A and B are shown apart, each in its own frame.
Chain A
Amino acid sequence: KQEVTQIPAALSVPEGENLVLNCSFTDSAIYNLQWFRQDPGKGLTSLLLIQSSQREQTSGRLNASLDKSSGRSTLYIAASQPGDSATYLCAVAHTGNQFYFGTGTSLTVIP
């Protein structure tokens, strides 16, 4: 069964810093990988979707990379802002539209 792990579990950085969130998965036979943001008590906001054939995707200050063979993805956030404070989840998609979610990284950006 697919296992998705995110490191670190929590991260606190001063405003303006660049940061990297890590996601690893055990089964490389995935269709895609998606990064989500979740604010406390709220649902999920999709940030970036990387297809299995792609290496990276960018949206604004966010850049996500995928190395399927090694089972890793990173989410890079440039020039962090207090509004970026949230929990970030990665999820991998498998046959049958099943998603396996990571354990999440709780990010706090200090003004």
Chain B
Amino acid sequence: GAVVSQHPSWVICKSGTSVKIECRSLDFQATTMFWYRQFPKQSLMLMATSNEGSKATYEQGVEKDKFLINHASLTLSTLTVTSAHPEDSSFYICSVGELYEQYFGPGTRLTVT
């Protein structure tokens, strides 16, 4: 299966600042990447689908101007949380897909103080 990495693995930032999370597909050309969010003791919820070379598709209720997604190459997608607030504190996980089987990154823990 594909190997997916995320950077950073955890980040603490102050309210009002922006944070960028990287998702890299190390051995798989990913035209599509997915971003999920997981709040404590809850399951993963799909936030957006990142498409290489085009705009991301956001799920209902996810603010596209707040969660900026850039998929500039087949191996890298970034999620930028703009003007972060404490309620954005969560676990963010990306994945890449292959024939309906997805491979997940290790996740990024974001804490906004």
Contacts and interface: CB of A to CB of B under 8 A. Distances in A.
Contacts of B34: 97-99
Contact of B100 (A31, A43, A100): A31
Contacts of A100: 46
Contacts of B72: none
Nearest to A99: B102
Interface in A37-73: 41-44, 46, 49
A43 B46 contact: no
A97 B102 contact: yes
Contacts, number: 54
Given A34-B101, A97-B32, A97-B100, A43 B49 contact: no
Contacts of A103: 42-43
> DSSP majority for the B interface?
strand
A54 B66 CA distance: 41
A46 B105 CA distance: 11
Given A43-B104, A97-B32, A89 B43 contact: yes
A43 B97 contact: no
Nearest to A10: B41
B45 interface: yes
Given A42-B106, A46-B1, A101 B45 contact: yes
B44 interface: yes
A46 B34 CA distance: 16
B106 A43 contact: yes
B64 interface: no
Contact of A43 (B42, B93, B101): B93
Instruction: Give the residue among B32, B36, B44, B95 with the most A Cβ atoms within 10 A.
Output: B44
Contacts of B93: 43-44
A103 B44 CA distance: 8
A91 B101 CA distance: 10
B104 A101 contact: no
Given A46-B1, A96-B49, A102-B43, 5 more contacts: A91-B44, A98-B46, A98-B49, A99-B34, A104-B42
